[in-house]
Chains A and B, each alone.
Chain A
Amino acid sequence: MFDIFKDLIFSSGFFSLTGGNMVMWLISFVLMYLAIKKQYEPLLLLPIAFGILIVNLPLTFLMEPEHGLIWFFYHYGIELDIIPPIIFLGLGAMIDFGPLIANPKTLLLGAGAQAGLYFTFFAAVLFGFDLQEAASIAIIGGADGPTTIYLTSKLAPHLLGATAVSAYAYMALVPIIQPPVMKLLTTEHERKIVMKKLRPVSKLQRICFPIVTAMTIMLVVPPAAPLISMLMLGNLFKESEVVERLTKASSNELMNIVTIFLGLSVGATMTAGTFLNPKVLFIFFLGLFAFIVSTSAGLIVAKVMNLFLKDKINPLIGAAGVSAVPMAARCVHKVGSEANRRNYLLMYAMGPNVAGVIGTVVAAAILLKNLG
Chain B
Amino acid sequence: MPELLSPIAGNVWKILVAVGDKVEMDDELIILEALKMETPIFSEDNGTITEIKIKEGDAVNEGDLLIVVG
Contacts and interface: CB of A to CB of B under 8 A. Distances in A.
Contacts of A203: none
B42 A346 contact: no
A341 B9 contact: no
A346 B26 contact: no
Interface in B1-56: 7-9, 26, 34-37, 39-40, 42, 44
Contacts of B42: 341-342
Interface residues of B, number: 13
Interface string A169-209: 00000000000000000000000000000100000000000
Contacts of A337: 39
B44 A346 contact: no
A198 B61 CA distance: 13
Nearest to A329: B35
A238 interface: no
A350 B62 CA distance: 14
A346 B9 CA distance: 10
Nearest to A343: B7
A303 interface: no
A330 B26 contact: no
Contacts of B7: 342, 344
A319 to B, nearest CB: 16
Contacts of B39: 333, 337, 344, 346
Contacts of B26: 341
Contacts of A82: none
A104 interface: no
A86 B8 CA distance: 31
Interface in A335-368: 337, 341-342, 344, 346-347, 350
A326 interface: yes
Contact of A347 (B36, B40, B62): B62
A18 to B, nearest CB: 42
Given A347-B8, A347-B9, A347-B62, A342 B35 contact: no
B48 to A, nearest CB: 20
Contact of B37 (A198, A342, A346): A346
Contacts of B9: 347
A333 B62 contact: no
B35 A326 contact: yes
21 contacts: A198-B62, A326-B35, A326-B36, A326-B37, A329-B35, A330-B35, A333-B37, A333-B39, A337-B39, A341-B26, A341-B40, A341-B42, A342-B7, A342-B44, A344-B8, A344-B39, A346-B35, A346-B39, A347-B9, A347-B62, A350-B35
Given A330-B35, A346-B8, 4 more contacts: A198-B62, A341-B26, A344-B8, A347-B62
